[in-house]
């Protein structure tokens, strides 16, 4: 693991030199000793995490009335490019072989030249066979350095995702993964999932995951962190990626309203042909036919047991229906059988609500998170990772969120009447201290 070592004195000198040029203070005043930065981190913060600091900042804003305690939250993900390039498996396996030879102290060796093999699949297999043979030749009695190099190679080869180019793509940054921005465009790096208030636009929680992360997987964590900051969540605003039964049920359980558009991948009922009555638990088609019975079944799919509902329509109307071929295709059944997820009836009710003008008007609040993502990336460097590994990128994202929050708080406070500039001075000082743009020239890896 790479450990980030910050040159505290050089860091502090840059902080305080910039601080003296700030118009909010007197440049003739005595500046704090550079060691105070380290003392603040080791004595005051101790085990306090960046998540705790973000929550405390939001909590104080709620307590002092800067933002409302009853507030909605908007959630979205943004992409962070890795601080390295993605490599093909052949190149990675070649580097793993070199690492083993280096650990063994062997300077002369011959590794297959995969670039001369035209077929990509064949090239991968040749390099895999070569690396596996090399691991076998090393034996069991080796130095600790050799064992570490061999173990690293074995762990990477054991993953089926590696050969399919969906796993590790760099030995420098093993946590970065390939993700998709759209059907035709992908990226290599990480995803930062950000949750912010709709009133006040303060970030309440941040999580960072590899680029292959599925949006919404950490939603429960975001909701709990937001509630711990003293906010009462009244509504949740997200895009179609968050239209999932588990998320919708959690929002309902917490007494909030969900403002998430219906996703066709999670809800596959054609509402032009079918409608649902929750009181009678029946589905109706456009020809007036209705379901006469329903059975609950459990099916196993991908190793998981899932519950489904089979709704059977009346036979007589289906038998002579003019839309039979359109509705049932080539099925030999007399009556249509509608097999749906156990959550579909509830999602139908939600989809009807999502069409109302009130819902559409309220959903516009979700757009407030888009400028925040742009600010984080365009003005604070979150478009690209400055370190390597999940922990490093997590620190970068959370420090950036703190900086953006302090900027926003300063603007909110300045808009309030009767407040002096003391809070603005404190915010400006903190903003200079945590500005993540400095993590680049002053960071060394050891």
pLDDT digits (tens, 9 = 90+) for 217-262: 999 999 999 999 999 999 999 998 899 888 999 999 999 999 999 8
Residue carrying the six token digits 């505290």: 8
Yes or no: say if 398 and 50 are a contact pair by the CB < 8 Å rule: yes
Task: Judge whether residue 419 has pLDDT over 80.
Answer: no
Task: With a cut of 80, say whether residue 63 has pLDDT above it.
Answer: yes
Q: What pLDDT is recorded for position 187?
A: 94
DSSP labels, 23-77: TTS-TTSPPPPTHHHHHIIIIIITT--HHHHHHHHHHHHHHTTSS-SEEEEEEEE
Count of C-beta atoms within a 10 Å radius of residue 126 = 17
pLDDT of 305: 78
Q: Is the dihedral of CA 155, 157, 159, 162 positive or negative?
A: positive
Confidence tier at 282 by pLDDT (50, 70, 90): confident
Average of per-residue pLDDT across 105-132: 92
pLDDT in tens, 377-401: 999 999 999 999 999 999 999 999 9
Pairing between strand 257-259 and 232-237?
Answer: parallel
Would you state the pLDDT for residue 4?
38
Residue 430 has a pLDDT of 53
In this structure, of 63-67, 261-265, 375-379, 433-437, the range with the lowest mean pLDDT score is 433-437
What is the fold, at CATH topology level, of the domain defined by 4-83+184-261+364-445? Nucleotidyltransferase; domain 5 (3.30.420)
Q: What whole-number distance in Å separates Cα of residue 117 and Cα of residue 48?
A: 53
pLDDT at 373 over 70: yes
Distance CA 283, CA 276 (A): 5
Q: Is the pLDDT of residue 310 over 50?
A: yes
Which of these, 46, 80, 18, 65, lies nearest to 433 by C-alpha position? 18
Averaged confidence pLDDT in the chain: 84
Inter-axis angle of helices 390-415 and 50-63, to 10 degrees? Answer: 20
Rounded to whole angstroms, the Cα distance separating 104 from 314 reads 76
What pTM was estimated for this model as a whole? 0.77
Whether the pLDDT of residue 89 is over 80: the answer is yes
* More confident call, 279 vs 143: 143
Instruction: Enumerate the H helices of 282-421 as residue ranges.
Output: 315-319, 324-328, 344-353, 357-363, 369-378, 390-415
For residue 173 the two structure tokens come to 């940054």
- The average pLDDT across 417-435 equals 50
pLDDT score recorded for residue 346: 81
Output the pLDDT for position 49: 86
| Of 84-88, 159-163, 174-178, 341-345, minimum mean pLDDT range | 341-345
Backbone angles phi, psi at 222, to 5 degrees: -60, -45
Q: Is 4 helix (H, G, I), strand (E, B) or coil?
A: strand
Among left, alpha and beta (phi > 0; psi -120 to 50; other), residue 353 is alpha
Q: According to the model, what pLDDT value does residue 371 have?
A: 94
- Residue 189 vs residue 304, higher pLDDT: 189
- pLDDT of 20: 46
pLDDT score recorded for residue 431 = 47
Q: What per-residue confidence (pLDDT) applies to 440?
A: 42
Q: What is the pLDDT of residues 166-213, one digit of tens each?
A: 899 999 999 999 998 887 888 999 999 999 999 999 999 999 999 999
pLDDT level of residue 417 (50, 70, 90 thresholds): low
Q: Residue 48's pLDDT band (boundaries 50, 70, 90)? A: confident
For the cut 70, the answer to whether the pLDDT of residue 5 exceeds it is no
Which pLDDT score, from 0 to 100, does residue 252 have? Answer: 93
User: Which residue would you say has higher pLDDT here, 200 or 32?
Assistant: 200
Distance of CA 237 to the CA centre of its chain: 16
* Choice between 275 and 251, residue whose per-residue pLDDT is larger: 251
pLDDT-based confidence at residue 12 (cuts at 50, 70, 90): low
What pLDDT does 54 receive? 95
Range of weakest confidence among 54-63, 105-114, 262-271, 357-366: 262-271
Place of tokens 């036919």: 289
Residue 357 pLDDT class (50, 70, 90 cuts) = very high
Mean pLDDT of 74-92: 95
Average pLDDT of the segment spanning 416-442 = 49
Q: How confident is the model at residue 374 (pLDDT cuts 50, 70, 90)?
A: very high
* Domain boundaries of the chain, sorted by first residue: 4-83+184-261+364-445, 89-163, 274-342
Report the pLDDT value the prediction gives residue 425, as an integer from 0 to 100.
53
What pLDDT was estimated at residue 11? Answer: 56
Tokens of 9: 């004195």
């Amino acid at each position: 693991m790479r450990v980030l070592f910050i040159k505290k004195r050089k860091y502090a000198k840059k902080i305080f030199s910039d601080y003296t040029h700030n118009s909010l203070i007197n440049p003739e005043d005595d500046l704090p000793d550079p060691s105070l930065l380290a003392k603040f981190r080791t004595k005051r913060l101790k085990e306090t995490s960046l998540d705790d600091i973000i929550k405390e900042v939001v909590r104080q804003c709620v307590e002092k009335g800067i933002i409302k305690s009853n507030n909605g939250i908007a959630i979205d993900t943004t992409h962070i490019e890795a601080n390295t390039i993605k490599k093909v498996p052949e190149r990675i396996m070649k580097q793993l072989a070199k690492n083993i030879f280096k650990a063994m102290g062997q300077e002369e060796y011959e590794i297959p030249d995969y670039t001369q093999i035209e077929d990509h699949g064949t090239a991968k297999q040749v390099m895999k066979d070569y690396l596996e043979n090399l691991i076998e030749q090393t034996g069991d009695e080796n130095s600790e350095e050799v064992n570490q190099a061999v173990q690293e190679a074995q762990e990477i080869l054991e993953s089926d995702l590696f050969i399919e180019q969906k796993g590790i793509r760099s030995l420098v940054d093993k946590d970065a993964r390939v993700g998709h921005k759209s059907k035709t465009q992908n990226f290599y790096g990480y995803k930062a999932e950000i949750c912010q208030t709709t009133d006040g636009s303060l970030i309440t929680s941040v999580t960072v995951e590899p680029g292959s992360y599925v949006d919404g997987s950490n939603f429960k964590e975001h909701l709990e962190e937001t509630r711990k900051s003293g906010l009462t969540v009244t509504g949740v605003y997200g895009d179609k990626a968050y239209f999932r039964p588990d998320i919708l049920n959690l929002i309902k359980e917490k007494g909030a309203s969900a403002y998430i558009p219906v996703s066709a991948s999670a809800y596959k009922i054609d509402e032009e042909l079918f409608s649902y009555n929750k009181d009678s638990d029946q589905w109706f088609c456009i020809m007036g036919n209705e379901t006469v019975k329903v059975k609950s079944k459990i099916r196993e799919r991908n190793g998981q047991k899932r519950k489904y509902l089979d709704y059977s329509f009346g036979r007589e109307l289906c038998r002579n229906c003019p839309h039979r071929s359109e509705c049932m295709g080539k099925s030999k059944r007399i009556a249509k059988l509608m097999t749906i997820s156990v959550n579909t009836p509830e999602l139908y009710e939600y989809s009807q609500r999502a069409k109302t003008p009130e819902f559409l008007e309220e959903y516009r609040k979700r757009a407030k998170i888009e400028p925040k993502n742009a600010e984080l990336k365009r003005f604070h460097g979150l478009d690209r990772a400055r370190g390597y590994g999940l922990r490093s990128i997590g620190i970068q994202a959370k420090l950036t969120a703190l900086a953006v929050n302090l900027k926003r708080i300063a603007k909110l406070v300045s808009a309030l009447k009767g407040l002096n500039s003391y809070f603005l001075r404190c915010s400006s000082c903190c903003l200079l201290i945590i500005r993540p743009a400095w993590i680049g020239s002053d960071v060394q890896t050891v």
